[in-house]
Structure 1
Amino acid sequence: MNEISCCTVSCDKPLDQDYWDAQYKANTTGWDLGLVSPPIKAYIDTLKDKDIAILIPGCGNTYEAAYLLEQGFTNITVIDIAPTLVKIIEEKFITNTRIQVLLGDFFNHKGEYDLIIEQTFFCALPPTMRQKYVWKMHELLAKDGILAGLLFNRKFEVSPPFGGSQEEYDLLFKNAFDFIKLEKSDNSIAPRSNSELYFEFKKNGAVKVNLYEFEGITCSGCMNTVTEKFAAVKDVLNVSMNGNFTEVLIVSTIEIPLEELQKIVSYDDHYKIKKITQ
């Protein structure tokens, strides 16, 4: 992970509500395809149950939702943080009772969904939020729920969209989800040909997925030491810390007591860990 780039974006150029609303006001939305992405369209066409609860976070102009409605799906929720965009979407679907349009922060959202569709939301987040993304997706999905969509398969940039690699995604989502598919997309639009991965992940309901705030780490070497210590704990399956060392994701077969985690890092008085519950 390019920690310098991550910090530059997350600290110097906050990707907050004002940032995204300004993009829609100025119509600087170069990521907008103008149509439902072909790999996601093909996936939707395989779905048999039209009544499943579907969420599209960071929905943009939500061509995916429009296509779902055309195909007869009845329980769709879309959420975005940009007021200008949400107003447009609300007007577009004002008479349709099969879709709920929400303005808000995805990470504060509550609900339970059978399917969450990923389409340029993950890549719009600062890379330092990726552990939080995994945690929140796992929380929102129902038993055996599916997270499906597209991820970029290219290097990081200093502004959105942010890329990644299959190796990184393997490590990030490992054990929190069962991988049904994670492969190069063979039907992406031409500008994104050979740069997207199509994926289908099923929620692993047999594990605990917890996110923690962490204080005190100042370098990648210390981060590696801490994550290795946590990974060595019995019943821990996967540990991942974000690029600015402030959040750690722990996947385990049982709940690991917070006191045990704090004791593990007590060799340094600066290290503090706190469980995130929202």
Structure 2
Amino acid sequence: MQTNINPKEVQAHLSQYKGDKYVDGWASLWDKGDNLPWDRGFPNPALEDTLVKQRPTIGAPLATDAQGQSYRRKALVPGCGRGVDVLLLASFGFDAYGLEYSAAAIEACKKEENDNASWYRVRDQTVGTGKVTWIQGDFFDNAWLQNIGVPLNGFDIIYDYTFFCALDPSMRPKWALRQTQLLSPSPAGNLICLEFPRHKDPQSAGPPYASSSEAYMAHLSHPGEEIPYDNGVVKHEPLRAPSKDGLERVAYWKPERTHEVGQGENGVIHDRVSIWRRRN
């Protein structure tokens, strides 16, 4: 039997798990029930539109190596929840990897794959579908990479929607640094961020924590560095050069469609989509 868990319960529960213990907090929520408030039941249409309209930017799901052999590019969704975005990426032809710390979450992913396979139809018969791999592990640890045989800097696509905003803001420098460690070299490697919730009061409790476009820019431009905040807002400082190890934003736009939680009154869309690459 599923247990409904409301956002305030989530916030109160996770407040007991500080720093690296955050994974245990999320895992215990999955153990309580898999009907969680951040689950919309289907992929964000903004991701679907990105995979269709931004293909010239992110590249095709099939590529050719130096020996002339064709291979499928790898896509990672950290904190994938029920795995709907992973299955969507696979339907477009990418070998898609869904990462969750919780064993219960992994079981929910497998159930989604088995129960709703017809929804994730093949998008291009000439390309076919990619392989789906569910991984139990901690995003910040290398053990899961070794388990699946993927090296550092081995993912061509990383999709981040409700992962950045789920982490306590104190973990954002570590989050940004980890993206640089997992993302393939430019231009093959593209980090797709669906920026949410941009319209939330930055001083209100999380998760989800208010996540402005300025926060994504500050952290991804300076991965691993502490970024000053003032009352939950990135503090404006004298202009400084981006880190040589940072990511650069190569595309940024307001999506035509997104989940209702990313919209305000009268359907005004607050979400933004950004694409990032390693600096050459």
Matches of 1:131 and 1:116, distance apart in 2: 17
101-110 vs 155-164, which moves further? 155-164
- Identity across the alignment (%): 22
Return the offset for 1:44: 1.8
Q: Give 1 or 2: higher strand fraction.
A: 1
* Structure index of larger Rg: 1
Match of 1:136 in 2: 178
For 1:1-278, list aligned pairs within 5 A.
Answer: 12-14=16-18, 16-24=22-30, 25-46=32-53, 47=55, 48-50=60-62, 51-73=72-94, 75-90=95-110, 92-93=112-113, 98-109=131-142, 110=145, 111=151, 112-144=154-186, 145-152=189-196, 153-154=198-199, 155-156=201-202, 157-174=204-221, 175=242, 176-193=246-263, 194-204=269-279, 206=280
Taking structure 1 as the reference length, the TM-score comes to 0.63
Return the offset for 1:195: 3.0
Matches of 1:37 and 1:52, distance apart in 2: 21
- Unaligned 5+ segments in structure 2 are 1-11, 63-71, 118-128, 146-150, 222-241, 264-268
- Unaligned 5+ segments in structure 1 are 1-7, 207-278
Amino acid at match of 1:54: A
Amino acid at match of 2:211: G
- What is the RMSD of the two structures over their aligned residues, measured on CA atoms? 2.6
Taking structure 2 as the reference length, the TM-score comes to 0.63
Matches of 1:180 and 1:200, distance apart in 2: 6
Residues 102-144 of structure 1, C-alpha deviation per residue, up to 9 Å, x if partnerless?
Answer: 1110011333111101121111111111111110001111111
Match of 2:224 in 1: none
